[in-house]
Structure formats: structure tokens, C-alpha cells
Amino acid sequence: MSAELAEPASKIELPAGVGGGGEIPSFDVTLRVRRYNPEVSEDATWDDFKVTMYGTDRVLDALHKIKWEMDGSVSFRRSCAHGVCGSDAMRINGRNRLACKTLLKDLDTSKPITVEPIKGLPVEKDLIVDMEPFFQSFREVMPFLINRGHEPTKERLQSAEDRERFDDTTKCILCAACTSSCPVFWTDGQYFGPAAIVNAHRFIFDSRDDAGDMRLEILNDKEGVWRCRTTFNCTEACPRGIQVTQAIAEVKQAILSRKV
Amino acid sequence: MTATIQSPRSGKPSSGKPSSGKIQPKYRRTGGSKGNFEMLAWLFMRLSGVVLVVLIFGHLTVNLLVGEGIHAIDFGFVAGKWADPFWQFWDLAMLWLAMLHGTNGVRTIINDYAEKDATRLWLKIVLYAATTVIIILGTLVIFTFNPCPVANGVQLPGGFCPAP
């Protein structure tokens, strides 16, 4: 059986000088990585690494190259490396992004690319931060289904419209890019943060869930939704494109319509 | 010669770093606020903002655009306005709403930007003191305004006094 399937035409335009099949243009790029090791010094410093990378490479690939070939002590988190696990959120050129979803060619490679840990959480080493405060806020909004009715024998059915209501906030991968881009969270770390509110939103507006009131009460705290100043940093930072600020506004509205 | 390697995340005090599962005190939320103060403050900001837009633009129109506009403003103009309970109420509402709206705005800014609790406390004391003084003073002026000011038994010029 030899079905003759034509290869789809490539959508990538290669310069004429590039010969041979699949050859990808390479370029030199400098990564300026924020280094911090409390066992050596309390002060954080910048280290520059010059690497030759390819047009298909991401910031994560450059970090791998540095760690594997140049300086093994560079520390960062990554698990799936494909934008699903949310481990490698970091501040690249001053913006929170996933290193595994940021192509080097999309950044300004004429200048050093700065790579820092996400802001507002305690740095443990280099690009690794202590995520515990972030997850504590996440846990406090009870991000799980609470249903007071009888346990059904089959799955809990839901209409497509009811599912659509909270579809956007199901996309969260808990990378903390939003919470650590929030200037209110930077101040004192007391604010619940956009990620916790997004994950509360996912259950508050789920027709199968019965604990929406409890979650709204939790977020009616003085460190809850009312600390949001709608600066939209979270929406811009979200690597999943969740309309975070809108979700927070919807939770505000839900609290108001319940109380007033 | 042997060296002991510290197990990772064992919370060695010298490193000053947290061990896994523990939350640094800075991030611990203490004493959750019961009650709806923050919600009401948030709501008040929106509602007073809308009302203030009407009040302030009405104020500016009447004072600066209608009739002779800005050239008509003098002691007599103000005295004429405050002879009318409508404008007394208008200015009173503007004073109270603007002061409370502004105070609440500055309160949130202090909450967001003050880093030490002591700084926060003192800034708020100054803020609330200033607000109280201005609201009381302004309210007094609106209600005790005298179009015929008298000093040492002599009528001051520019006043509007009833015929003797």
C-alpha cells in the first residue's frame, strides 16, 4: 500500500542563501541571566552567555545549551517543555513568559536577552522561586468540585452553554506568570493574586458546583478581588491567553449581585 | 577530610531560605477581614465617581461658561449661589463625595505602596485627619456663610447687607 500523499507546502520562508533541505538559519545571541545562590552570596548578579542558536529555538533551548554545555550550575525549572506544565515561567526581557513558548527569533537578538526569575515570590536559586505562597492562595479558594447532591452513577452532565460559561478559566496551567506580574502582589504578597481568582472563577461559574457562595465569601476578603486595580498586567502575561482581568471582574460582579 | 552535604531544602538557617511546604511570614494572610468594607469601598468609588462627573461638570458650567463666565466670579457671585438651598446642597454633596472619593483613593494607594506597617499607619492618620478637618470646615462654611461680614463692628466692603 503506497498512498501518495504530497507534503504540504512549507509556510516558513527561508532566505535564498540557505542551501539544502531543512537547513535553518543560525545566529548568535547573548542571554543575560539573573544568578543568585544564597550559599555563595546574598547578592544576585547578572551572567552573560553567548550562544549560537537557530531560528526554531526557544529561550528554553538556549537555557538548556547554557546548562548542558557551558555552566551546569545555572538552575531553572522545566518539565514538559511544551507549554503545558507551566514550570518555566520567567521574566524574559522584562515580561513574564514561558521560556518554552518564546522563540528567540521573536525577541530583539541584537541586544542581550535578559532572563530573570518571576517577581514577587522569594527566589531560591537563579531562576527558581518558592511557589508555596502562590499555591497556598490557590488551595484557599478550594479548586475542586463540591457537589451537595446525590452522587450520580454516570458522569455529571452539563449543557454546552453551561460549559462555555467558564471555558476560558479552565485553561490555566498554574505557571504563576499572572500573579507574579501583578503590581499589587509585588507590594506585600498578601493579595490572593489573579491565578487563585481565575481558578475560583472556574468553579464559581460551573453549574455542577454548589460551593460558589463559599468561594465568593473567601474572595470578598480585604486581600481578595477588591485589591485588583485592573492594570491588565495579568491578562498580558498569561501564556494561555486567558482574559484574567475579565474573570476577576466577573467574580467582583458575582459578589456584588449576591450581597447587594 | 570529609564534607557534609546539606540535603536540599532542609531549611538551613544561614541560607535564609524556606524549606518546602512552609510559607514565609510575609505571605501569610493574618486575620481575614470579615464584613464587606472593601466591597462597599469599591462600590462607593464607582457610584460617587459617576455622581461627581455630573456635579463637577455642572459646577464648572455654571461658574465658568454661563453668562459672563469666569469674569462674573466674585464674592457676590458666591453669596448669590449660597443664598439658594439648591446650590448649598450641590456644593455640600460635591464636597463630601469628592473628599471621601479622594480619601478612599489615597487610602488604597497607601495600602498598595507603604512597605512598613508603621508607615502605613502614620500616613493613614495624617490622611484621615486632613479629611476630617476639610470636611468639617467646608460644611461649616457652606452652612454658616454670612453674606454680610462684619469686623470690629464695621461692615467689610463687598458684603451684601440688609438695608438698615
| pLDDT tens-place string over residues A77-101 | 999 999 999 999 999 999 999 999 9
**Is the C-alpha dihedral spanning A41, A42, A43, A48 positive or negative?**
positive
- B148 pLDDT band, cuts 50/70/90, is confident
| pLDDT of residue B43 exceeding 90 | yes
Interatomic CA distance for residues A21 and A237, integer angstroms: 36
Question: What 8-state DSSP symbol labels residue A58?
Answer: B
CA distance B47 to chain A (A): 13
Question: Is residue B156 within 8 Å of residue B150, measured between CB atoms?
Answer: yes
Residue of A nearest to B6 (CA): A39
What pLDDT score was predicted for residue A19? 56
Asked if A130 lies within 8 A of B21 by C-beta distance, the reply is no
Q: Residue A223: its chain B contacts at CB < 8 A?
A: 29, 32
ipTM of the complex, rounded to two decimals: 0.78
Which strands make up the sheet holding A89-92, listed edge to edge? A45-54, A26-35, A113-116, A89-92, A95-98
Per-residue pLDDT band at A3 (split at 50, 70, 90): low
Q: Establish if B36 touches chain A: CB-CB under 8 angstroms.
A: yes
**Confidence band (pLDDT; 50, 70, 90) for A183?**
very high
Cβ distance of B43 and A189 shorter than 8 Å: no
- Min Cα–Cα distance to chain A from B98, Å: 20
List chain B residues with CB under 8 Å of A251. none
pLDDT at B12: 45
pLDDT score of A224 = 92
A21 class by beta-carbon count within 10 Å (0-12 exposed, 13-18 middle, 19+ buried): exposed
Domains along the sequence of chain A with CATH: 26-129 (3.10.20.30), 132-145+161-259 (1.10.1060.10)
**Cell numbers at A251, concatenated:** 467574580
Q: Chain A contact for B33, CB < 8 A? A: yes
CA distance A133 to A130: 7
pLDDT tens track for A118-161? 999 999 999 999 999 999 999 999 999 999 888 889 999 999 99
Q: Is the pLDDT confidence value at B10 over 60?
A: no
Q: Are A140 and A221 in contact (CB under 8 A)?
A: no
The percent of residues above 70 in pLDDT, for chain A, comes to 91
Average pLDDT on B107-126 reads 92
The type of residue at B117 is D
Mean pLDDT of the region B89-97 = 95
A-chain CB neighbours of B21 within 8 Å are 132
Longest dimension (CA), chain B: 109
**A70: how many CB neighbours lie within 10 A of its CB?**
12
Residues of chain A with pLDDT > 90, as a percent, come to 83
Q: Which of A252, A60, A66 is nearest to B45 (CA)?
A: A252
B18 touches chain A (CB under 8 A): yes
